[in-house]
A and B are shown apart, each in its own frame.
Chain A
Amino acid sequence: MTESDSELLRRCRAEDQAAWGELVARHTRRVFGLVYRFVGRVDEAEDLTQETFVKVYQNLDRYRDSDGSFPTWLMTVARNQAIDHYRRRKEERLRRTEEPEGMDSLSSPDEGPQRRLEREERIQLVRRGLRTLPVDLREPLILCDLQGLPYEEAATILQVPLGTVKSRINRGRLELAKRLMRRRAELEESAR
């Protein structure tokens, strides 16, 4: 039977390194997944994952159940790390436009080559657009649409009301949709 996070945390506070190892192993993938969405690079995401857990380990005593569930608290720390990193690297990030790996895996075997190309182009455009959205619109999209977190959890992590999360998600999606439409119009125009 697997131990609960609370039990592992209790052992971690007693400086049980095995418990700490298990807790980290349990949540590394989740933290990595989140910060990767922010930074778009595996090496930077791994560094940020490490910084997140370093911070968590240093603040284990400060975490209270009233802060929400441990995963939510952990994601809040990860999100803050990612935001700090983003601020430090803002200029560089705006210049970077290359896509992360994994585009091939998006293709569906049922799609024809033309449809597949269109879909990949759309995905690329949306992801690029996501990186240039204002951070307050980008964060909820990353948490909810990319990471699949419920809106309520995103609200806790972002420390904003649920309605604000919903509103920002809608605005972020609309902005990306309008950019997609503009891009299509440009392509149609140039094809004539």
Chain B
Amino acid sequence: MTPVFFDCARAEELLSDHLDGTLDPLLAREMEDHLRSCASCGALRDALAEVVDALRSSPAVEPSAGLAARVARAAILRAEQQRVARLTPRMPAWLQAVAAGLSVLTTAGILVVHGGTARAAGRLVERTTNAGTYVLEKKDRLLEDFRILRVVVGAAIEGRIDRVSDRLEDYRRLLERRRETEQPRVPSPAPSAPPEPSRKPTLSNSPGDGRVERDVERSNR
């Protein structure tokens, strides 16, 4: 007769150990007795054996040929990429935040200094638009400048000082030619016009008023 303490719950608890053959011999005998006398636990033991058989008979799936070589290469490549990324200087996040904050404060300061906030904001938008229009109109010239700059920098890196001097001379001549072609388009003030001692700097809608253009040229020089 099955001892009282060996009930169905206890049998369930020990079923796997029983199947694996790791149960203490005394317990194993009690388990056998219980399974003989309890149909539901017997059925559960059979189902459990089928489950273990199904799990263990799962076919082994092979990886595709060459996976090991691909994996080994990928790991080395990824490590290299990370090493390069670590060596590349990167602006720290706090510095970026400080720069962004300063930028906002400066913009706000400019708006306040130049009078009413809404009016100043309008002017800022207008100026930005004008500058954008100017850049679009002069993009060919800017590209030309950029190409010359690239040649100059390349020559400097190669240590060919003579070529650098030649290119700078070429660039100076180019700027002069540009100035000459644009001179007639800059309106000269009428002789009788009164001077404008404290005129605030503004940009008109026309890029031909020469202010931005002169700034660019000044920076070019």
Residues of A within 8 A of B (CB): 17, 20-21, 24-25, 28-29, 32-33, 36-37, 42, 45-46, 49-50, 53-54, 56-58, 100-103, 105-106, 122-123, 125-127, 130, 141, 145-146, 148, 166, 169-170, 173-174, 176-178, 180-181
Contact present for B58 and A57 (CB under 8 Å): no
Do A42 and B75 touch across chains, with their CB atoms under 8 A apart? no
Q: What is the predominant secondary structure among interface residues of chain A facing chain B?
A: helix
A25 pairs with B48, CB closer than 8 A? no
Out of B12, B16, B71, B79, which one reaches A166, CB within 8 Å? B16
B75 near A102: Cβ-Cβ < 8 Å: no
Contact check, B58 vs A146: say whether CB atoms are below 8 A apart: yes
Q: How many Å lie between the Cα of A177 and that of B11 in the bound state? A: 14
Binds A, one of B62-70, B148-156, B157-165, B197-205: B62-70
Instruction: Flag if B50 contacts A29 (CB, 8 Å).
Output: no
Given A45-B63, A57-B76, decide whether A24 and B47 contact each other with a Cβ distance below 8 A. no
Residues of A close to B44: CB separation below 8 A: 174, 177-178, 181
In the complex, what residue of chain A is closest to B76 when comparing beta carbons? A17
Contact call B71/A123, Cβ cutoff below 8 A: no
Alpha-carbon gap, A170 to B169, bound state (A): 87
Q: Measured between C-beta atoms, what is the minimum distance from A175 to chain B in Å?
A: 9
Contacts A28-B68, A29-B63, A174-B15 given; does A126 touch B75 at CB 8 Å: no
Contacts of A45 in B (CB 8 A): 61, 63
Q: Which residues of B contact A166 (CB under 8 A)?
A: 16-17
| Chain B residues closer than 8 Å to A127, beta-carbon distance | 54, 58
Say whether, besides A20-B75, A174-B15, A49 and B69 are in contact (CB < 8 Å): no
Minimum C-beta distance from A121 to chain B (A): 10
Decide: B78 and A180 in contact? CB cutoff 8 A: no
CA distance A43 to B213 in the complex (A): 59
The smallest beta-carbon distance between A131 and chain B, in angstroms, is 12
**Nearest CB of A to B208, in Å:** 59
